[in-house]
Amino acid sequence: MMWCNCNIMGLIWHAPYILVYLAGFGVAPVSLHPQCLDFKPPFKPQEGLQFCVMYNSFGCCDSAKDQELMAKFYRIMDNFDYYGYANCAGYVQDLICQECSPYAAHLFDAEDPSTPVRSIPGLCRDYCTQYWLKCRSTITLLSDDMRLVEVEQDQHRFCEYLELEDPDYCYPHLLTNEQLTKNLGRVTADSEGCLQLCLEEVANGLRNPLAMVHANDGTHRFFIAEQVGVVWTYLPDRSRLEKPFLNISKAVLTSPWEGDERGFLGLTFHPNFKYNSKLYVYYSVEVGFDERIRISEFRISAADMNVVDHNSERIILEIDEPASNHNGGQLLFADDGYLYIFTGDGGMAGDPFGKYGNSQNKSALLGKVLRIDVDNNDRGPVYRIPRDNPFVHDPSARPEVYAYGVRNMWRCSVDRGDPITKEGKGRIFCGDVGQNKYEEVDIIEKGKNYGWRAKEGFSCYDKKLCSNSSLDDVLPIYAYPHKMGKSVTGGYIYRGCEYPNLNGMYIFGDFMSGRMMTLQENKNTRQWDYHEICMGTGLTCAFPGLINNYYQYIISFGEDEAGELYFMSTGVPSATSASGVVYKFVDPSRRAPPGKCDYDPLPVKVKSNLIKFKPKETLIGVELPTKQPKLQDGAAGPHPTVPAYTQTTTTDWLQELMDLLREQEAALGRTTAAPTTTTTSGTGRSGRRRKGRRRKGKHKSEAAPRNGALRLVGDEEGRNDRGRVEIYINGEWGTVCDDLWNTKNAAVVCQQLGFRYALKASKHAEFGEGKHLKILLDDVQCEGTEGTLLDCKHTGIGNHNCAHYEDAGVICGNMDYVEN
């Protein structure tokens, strides 16, 4: 018999807790780590939940999942009469709905890779006792975990099995644990207010990447410019086209010197690019013995939408540079449709050019914000002056000047405005690099004087100019001293969809110190509140694919077509050093509801080879979870059932996290039980960010191995449950190519080596390249039950069409092992 939803609410009397969701950010404990069973942060559902109402404001279920859980509830409760329903409906709902808890990963032990995912959440002892006394008949309906069936009749063993080793996270006590519920859903901050964010690696191997832009054409491609004058096309899946989008490196003036400010400096697409195929670039050139900055217009090739027609260049503007520094470099189109050009003051120190310097001289184009009209320029002048430019009627000023008194604005952006109210839309934010005391952030306004060289930040630099009553300068919204950093890199106001807590934050950084910062406008005072951004510590960033570290030299920021925020940094600030990485900001405390941020990119016709993205950076400083369910008799039962909607999504993520956590485990001197199968380990690769030197293993000698024998090589920690797969065939060892490599192939390897499970089929030479060996097998296709890889389908011994950067590997394990 089916019961109406109102009866459910009436009968379930012992689930009184409602989690309160708090927007924004607060000083929450850094140890907080809310996480769903899909290994992502919790969210606020778009539609109200009808069944798991306790997580209506914040949790891990949308309305579809809520309906699925409700259906499961009815299927279980249909087995009971009214008396059984009245006694147990509340308990059953409690247990089922913990899949919606913002701490679901903790409750089901999904965040601990050394233990299986539970089928019933971890329960506090007092609650478990009451449940067992009243409703243990529901156990087999809730779970097919045979171990639970074995201990069902013994209350002590049953509750011990369901107990979490970390009592803070057991249900229902976690609902009233202030440390876990206070500021839940807010950006985590430490005791000093430093916001804990995480990163996702997006691109690497770049030479001083200093611009990331999109074409706003619906394709969601993004374009990354290198200082040497090469621009690359990236597709939404982060694969890069092998052929450059633009390559003017022969014309660009730069050098390998660290800190050289000359080079390819800016790139922007015309607002109507989708229809006119125009883009604009800003770069340094040498003309005779003169150095200049050049702003040029290009068009896309008619034959390939991912390549610029290099013969289409039209020079829009050239300005002589008296020195090699302070070259500016920002180009952007604002909401008015005009092209804005941000120039430096000409270089050297203190703007020594002329009586007042270039920046205060409105007849000079250096040290300015310029605004020009490049529409309808196919015939006639290459640009026109907008009629409302502030100095068009001043005969002593260049009509292109929109604002002046800037030193060297490095990276500016246009605010998209609040996604709902559009508040702030069109504001232009810039970071202006200081002289020797202060760095500043400005909002650009028409006709305004930003003070340089009279002022540096809020402070006087040239005292005579500073005291001039006609200065009438605009003060920055924020300035910081050089003890915090010595070269500001302007950023963006976050207006993306994926991380609602970040909305309205202006995120920027400092090139020299590597400090990441944020400003947020106080709507009451109209002042800008400052917070530093620190990368997440502990388990804050222990999500699949996330990292918590970056290279020091923050070069630039970028925004994709959907409004998500990125930045670029490098370990070696040289135009020829391929150490640049692009990172995406991630808020681990809250995400948008599933489906809200989905988009369908327009198709891209690709005529170049694609280079798949291979992340190289790793999470560091991870604290190993210690929660492991205990069995009184030490028995290892069958593998418990994973909640249905996680079975196909969590395994690979779980193993990625396992790799990171086991490295931490090894560093702490602990080891996880491993099989006794003899394997060998090869030479490890050195890690840039690791503390201390990694161990290097040596091959163990084996007497007369049989054809098809295997060994695992190349794990940097010398672990014997993972590595590059090397196979012995006809008297020699060789590698296996990762073409068609999958978990069935890995299962054959792991089973042959004595492991019960294949946890990961590793690709792209994750465990190093076996260059000293031949590639012996390619296109291996196994069913998973074969005795050796030689029994599987393959192209033939020694026949291959691949290279060692495609060497296959595996991670094996015994996932049903439970430690006492």
Q: What is the pLDDT of residue 31?
A: 56
CB atoms closer than 10 angstroms to residue 12: 19
Answer yes or no: are the C-beta atoms of 765 and 806 closer than 8 Å.
yes
Answer yes or no: are the C-beta atoms of 473 and 454 closer than 8 Å.
yes
787 has a pLDDT exceeding 70? yes
Query: Phi first, then psi: what are they for 8, rounded to 5°?
Result: -60, -50
Sequence-separated (6 or more) residues with CB below 8 Å from residue 366: 319, 321, 343, 344, 345, 346, 353, 358, 359
Answer yes or no: are the C-beta atoms of 285 and 252 closer than 8 Å.
yes
DSSP class of residue 408? -
Q: What is the pLDDT of residue 112?
A: 59
645 has a pLDDT exceeding 60? no
Answer yes or no: are the C-beta atoms of 328 and 293 closer than 8 Å.
yes
- What is the C-alpha end-to-end distance of the chain, expressed in Å? 44
Sequence-separated (6 or more) residues with CB below 8 Å from residue 509: 488, 489, 491, 515, 516, 517, 554, 557, 567
Q: What is the pLDDT of residue 168?
A: 87
Q: CA-CA distances (angstroms) from residue 802 to 186, 726, 734, 735, 799?
A: 47, 15, 13, 11, 10
Answer yes or no: are the C-beta atoms of 69 and 113 closer than 8 Å.
no
Q: What is the pLDDT of residue 341?
A: 98
CB atoms closer than 10 angstroms to residue 5: 11
Burial class (CB in 10 A: 0-12, 13-18, 19+), 38: middle
The amino acid that residue 713 corresponds to is V
d(CA 447, CA 324): 28
CA-based max dimension of the chain: 95
List beta partners, residue 264. 283
d(CA 470, CA 461): 16
Q: What's the pLDDT tens digit per position in 106-136?
A: 999 887 555 678 899 999 999 999 999 999 9
- Torsion, Cα 493 499 501 505, to 10 degrees, reads -10
Residue with the larger pLDDT of the pair 322 and 17? 322
Q: What is the pLDDT of residue 641?
A: 31
Tokens 């060892």 sit on residue: 733
What is the rounded average pLDDT of the residues 11-25? 46
Query: Phi first, then psi: what are they for 518, rounded to 5°?
Result: -145, 145
Q: What is the pLDDT of residue 469?
A: 84
Burial class (CB in 10 A: 0-12, 13-18, 19+), 434: buried
Residue with the larger pLDDT of the pair 769 and 166? 769
The amino acid that residue 163 corresponds to is E
**Which range scores top for mean pLDDT: 296-310, 695-709, 766-780?**
296-310
Answer yes or no: are the C-beta atoms of 498 and 584 closer than 8 Å.
no
Tokens of 417: 């405005």
CB atoms closer than 10 angstroms to residue 71: 11
Q: What's the pLDDT tens digit per position in 761-773?
A: 888 899 999 999 9
Give the chain's mean pLDDT. Answer: 86
Q: At what angle do helices 125-135 and 155-162 cross, to 10 degrees?
A: 130
What secondary structure does DSSP assign to 148-191, as a single string?
A: HHHHTT-HHHHHHHH--SSGGGSBTGGGG-HHHHTTTTSBPB-T
Q: How many residues does the chain have?
A: 820
Tokens of 370: 């310029």
54 has a pLDDT exceeding 50? yes
Answer yes or no: are the C-beta atoms of 619 and 653 closer than 8 Å.
no
Residue with the larger pLDDT of the pair 62 and 629? 62
d(CA 629, CA 704): 43
Tokens 């050195």 sit on residue: 686
702 has a pLDDT exceeding 90? no
Answer yes or no: are the C-beta atoms of 380 and 342 closer than 8 Å.
no
694 has a pLDDT exceeding 90? no
List beta partners, residue 518. 507, 531
466 has a pLDDT exceeding 90? yes
Answer yes or no: are the C-beta atoms of 702 and 709 closer than 8 Å.
yes
137 has a pLDDT exceeding 90? yes
Q: What is the pLDDT of residue 365?
A: 98
Burial class (CB in 10 A: 0-12, 13-18, 19+), 218: middle
Q: What is the pLDDT of residue 314?
A: 98
d(CA 486, CA 511): 7
The amino acid that residue 377 corresponds to is N
Sequence-separated (6 or more) residues with CB below 8 Å from residue 150: 635, 637
User: Which is it for strands 278-287 and 264-269: parallel, antiparallel or unpaired?
Assistant: antiparallel
Q: What is the pLDDT of residue 682?
A: 35
| Separate counts of helices (H) and strands (E) for the chain | 13, 35
User: What does pTM read for this prediction?
Assistant: 0.75
What element of type H or E holds 147?
Answer: helix 146-151
Tokens of 633: 């008799």
Q: What's the pLDDT tens digit per position in 605-635?
A: 999 999 999 999 999 877 544 443 333 333 3
Q: What's the pLDDT tens digit per position in 247-297?
A: 999 999 999 999 999 999 999 999 999 999 999 999 999 999 999 999 999
Burial 678-707 (b: 16+ CB within 10 A, else e): ebbbbbbeeeeeeeeebeebeeeeeeeeee
Residue 189's pLDDT band (cuts 50, 70, 90): confident
Q: What is the pLDDT of residue 268?
A: 98
Q: Which of 22-36, 86-100, 363-377, 804-818 has the lowest mean pLDDT?
A: 22-36
Residue 180's pLDDT band (cuts 50, 70, 90): confident
d(CA 568, CA 632): 52
Q: What is the pLDDT of residue 646?
A: 34
DSSP class of residue 701? P
The amino acid that residue 716 corresponds to is E
List beta partners, residue 296. 281, 315
714 has a pLDDT exceeding 80? yes
